[in-house]
Structure 1
């Protein structure tokens, strides 16, 4: 019997969807979660000696207060980046004569040698030993076998002695520090780039570490952010006042289109105009309406309701800004809900509506007992979509308030990422928005169910 050949076409068709989910959903989601709960710079390992190959002598967490016990230069082998606390020393490998007139070759720190001659590319070629100032200062300069004052001394040279510069080496300063971790004293060496030294030069703090750990600290920073509370309250307030208004208007607009009146398509085109306007453009449009010289003041003055133009979008008129955002969002996004409702209405059989009308049901009764129950699947989609969009309100808020007088969660996510350069707290904000979206979606799916879903 010939074995039936497996049809692989469905698997090939679903493969692009799986790749899309992996690249544009799963990976970004995993990265966002990792950023919000994993601190890459939480712990700094200390070394027993001033080099990375030395054994670890202990660990201190970021922010720990430390005591500076000493410092030492260590050859810098990696590429210098934008390091805030990095402290380096420049050493010259020189060749000349020592105090006894003998030839000597070794290393001298930059502060003890004045460069007199350079090549065209800036490479130092010749220098002279600087003279020490002060009556008690040693007039001689020490030459070391290796770059760094911890190396062996091989001789001394006099002030003003001429030295040929053979090589240049950059050393990073390492600090010997001592601090407390969980009640235990920890002591060791760490590069200067990870230590913030205070003005007294004998104390400091761990600025950042090199080892990560799980933490809820970024969520704590989000909770304690002074803008978090106002952002949550404003976002929830906008959801409460925008979504019901949009659904009422969307259902009315959809019923007007479904009534098949004369010039019915014109209504659809007019209602759909806001779909072609961007969020920012809508914000700018309504900003121009509510300015002191805008349309709103002109209308009120024309009707004799006010004597002089008033400012409505200021720090003292927060409620007017909320009202302007509400009007802008209702005008901008009601069309999205309307299209979903129109699609749902078109799926309702005309025979059902005619039967309800035949049995004496008026418009309100048909709407309440026939149309809305049959529209529940469409309403579920519209509610979930509109709630997500309400949580993402950003450009309109920025255009109307600048993001300071009135702020929302999306604006605080942007503020943390762009202004404060804190991707971890920004990810915590993003996950908080996601959590609200998921909770509201589950609520809508449970609250707005069809008879078949309730029976199941």
Structure 2
């Protein structure tokens, strides 16, 4: 009896499930556009100088080969100058030196008709059209016995081009075209003990009064730099801003978490007026940062509610100043109270959602075995709340680093300042985007460091592993 050989097993091709990728694609696009790209741009502004180096060219042209690059601020010697045609955009920036040339037509001393280009300085305009453009003029006579009395006409608007003819002084000419040229200089400078020579446009140079020396005013090529970070570190407001920001984080976050857990437990206890408590606790969520700052300013100002209450109770005889340069500690206390009042509800909402995920059977079992409220909170509720606490800690730390409007409302940003305020000051008041980006990058760095710290320190048993 013969048995047929078994047919080979067919390998099943695993079909790739594209649905999860399609669902997560909008989130990835959102993160790329609104998080990754702005973050890269901010970091680039903080460590990249767009105008650090001036590229030197072998010829007076942007398309010619390079001979080197000089750092911004370098002293240079002017060896030669040349005027070239330039785009309109190149003539608008910096201390651009320009020359205007006219294309003219007239009769030379022999009576022949000649046409060519000559500098504006050699023509006195006599007639203009409706738009103000010159159409007729006369050749200016040259002064000085040694000077050539005739004015040369060139093939191109450049004195290095061929001469097409010459006109005598006083000759009547017709102006057919006008050209604006940019002046380029051949410069020589030092970099890393090397002498570099090349051409550069006048808009990127500062020419001194002697006409033979100058400096690189701005570059056209970027390079990595720590200058802006050093300016931030040397800023007189940096240390106070950093210390105040860290201080606020230390005194705000622990108090908020204790209050948020207590508020969440009150709501979770399902008391008789449970919804009333929730509504009262959530009131600060409806107020903006600036509004909260104004409210607490009205409490602590010299004619505010605090002084009125204390005077009414007979505890003080005269109004006390709280928000002044001499009472800086009171400003910090006011900011602390305002932030605790404003943002504790955010943490409470996260903790309440975490409490609702805890099984009531677990809590009832702990209560049956005689665990007190403190023991249930410490050994049952808090360990099971760790995932929610991670989210709340990260969110609250980021918000603490972004404290801005409350500080402005209570101190004006002068007596007490924070990192967010200095970022705004550098960007808006001082118009220094690079240093502002350095401040923003520092805030981002602290946020990321604290987020990693929380994720490592506050871990559930599943995350911690065996």
Same fold (TM over 0.5): yes
Partner of residue 143, structure 1: 152
CA distances 1:239-263 after superposition (whole Å, capped 9, x unpaired): 1111112112212211221222221
The answer (yes or no) to whether the contact 2:91–2:182 under 8 Å persists in 1 is no
C-alpha contact (below 8 Å) 2:311/2:317 kept by paired residues:
yes
* Structure 1 position 31 matched with structure 2 position 50: no
2-structure distance, mates of 1:427, 1:77:
32
Across the two proteins, how many residue pairs are aligned to each other?
455
Deviation of the 1:9 alpha carbon: 2.9
Q: Which residue matches 2:117? A: 107
Shift of 1:424: 3.5
The yes-or-no answer on 1:177 pairing with 2:187 is: yes
Partner of 1:271: 281
Cross-structure match for 2:30: 20
Q: Does 1:219 align with 2:225?
A: no
Once residues 325 and 101 of structure 2 are traced to their aligned partners in structure 1, the CA distance between those partners, rounded to angstroms, is 57
Describe the shift of the 1:118–1:449 C-alpha distance in structure 2 as closer, same or farther (beyond 3 A): same
SS at structure 2 position matched to 1:356: helix
Counterpart-to-counterpart distance in 2, 1:223 and 1:351: 55
- The equivalent of 1:69 in structure 2 is 79
Partner of residue 93, structure 1: 103
Q: CA 1:232–1:164 in structure 2 vs 1: closer, same or farther (change >3 Å)?
A: same
2:139·2:151 contact (CA, 8 Å) conserved in 1? no
**Which residue among 103, 114, 129 is the counterpart of 1:119?**
129
Farther off after superposition, 78-87 or 331-340: 78-87
Task: List aligned pairs for 1:359-398, cutoff 5 A.
Answer: 359-398=369-408
Aligned to 1:166: 176
Q: 1:436 to 1:7 in 2, by over 3 A?
A: closer
2:240 partner SS: helix
**SS where residue 120 of structure 1 aligns?**
coil
**Cα distance in 1 for residues equivalent to 2:146 and 2:306:** 79
Query: For residue 4 of structure 2, what is the aligned residue in structure 1?
Result: none
Could you say which structure has the larger radius of gyration?
2
Shift of the alpha carbon at 1:414?
A: 2.9
2:5 is aligned to none
Measure the CA separation in 2 of the matches of 1:81 and 1:396. Answer: 46
Q: 1:332 aligned to 327, 342, 353, which one?
A: 342
Q: Deviations over 1:92-113 (max 9, x none)?
A: 1122344665544333323343
1:140/1:156 contact within 8 Å kept:
no
| RMSD, matched Cα | 2.9
Q: 1:120 offset after TM fit, Å?
A: 2.0
Match of 2:329 in 1: 319
The one of 88, 94, 99 aligned to 1:84: 94
Aligned partner of 1:255 in structure 2 is 265
Q: Pick closer, same or farther for the CA change 1:290–1:81 going to 2, 3 Å.
A: farther
CA distance in 1, matches of 2:411, 2:159: 59
Conserved 8 A contact 1:112-1:141? no
Q: Give the drift of 1:86.
A: 1.9
Q: Following TM superposition, by how much is the alpha carbon of 1:433 offset from its aligned partner in structure 2, in angstroms?
A: 1.6
**Cα shift readout 1:149-183 (whole Å, capped 9, x = no counterpart):** 44455555555543321111011111222211100
Cα separation, partners in 2 of 1:11 and 1:84, compared to 1, 3 Å: same
